[in-house]
Structure 1
Amino acid sequence: WLHFVNNHLPYDVPVIVVGNKIDISEDRKVSKEEGKSKAERSNSFFLETSALTGEKIGTIFENLSTAIREKKMNELFHGARIPLKDMAIRLSPNNINQKRQDRGRSCC
């Protein structure tokens, strides 16, 4: 299923591969090393949890939210840059005087 995620989502979407049932390690189907390896090959994170006990569930969501926040901050500072002139608000004396008149007073 990991190839499906990689083929249908943008490359830079944070993904966490989660191994479940760490509370019953004797029934393990995938080793921790194999899980980490698969995650690394797909540029993803790897964590293990237990749905039964809730162990590390919070950690998964914390890591995912941190990855999303870091991605957004990176985009903000290094991503697709918008020219500053396109972000500027243009003020002219006419606009300022008109706004003052609209508010019914001559002071700020």
Structure 2
Amino acid sequence: MILVRIIMNVLPEKQKELLQTLLSIIEPPEKVKRSLSFSMFRDIKDQNVFNLISEWETRQHLEQHMSSDRFSVLLGTKSLLKERLNIQIFTVSDIDGIEAVNSIRKKRNYFFPYKC
């Protein structure tokens, strides 16, 4: 799995414009070929910092997305930002879940099983 984090530090007076742009280009994952999810977050310490997080099945699918018109629109938001986009791409080879948390807590005598 490939995770992408895009950090955007928006000019305060351009926040609304950036949000409208992001909402116009973000599609539900089922409409974007081989994307697993898209999420947008605002930083709790700085209201002008936004994070876009996306998950991809393969690097090839991510590269197809990065070649798309929608991604070009995202790159075009530079006039709305204080700083360049900070793009981080992570290749994830192993994923653990709540079982790992329970195992660690059990080893340290803090065991309170969390079940979904």
Q: TM-score band, normalised by the shorter chain?
A: under 0.3
Q: TM-score of the superposition, structure 1-length normalised?
A: 0.25
Structure ID, larger Rg: 1
Q: TM-score of the superposition, structure 2-length normalised?
A: 0.24
Choose between structure 1 and 2: higher strand proportion: 2
Choose between structure 1 and 2: higher helix proportion: 1
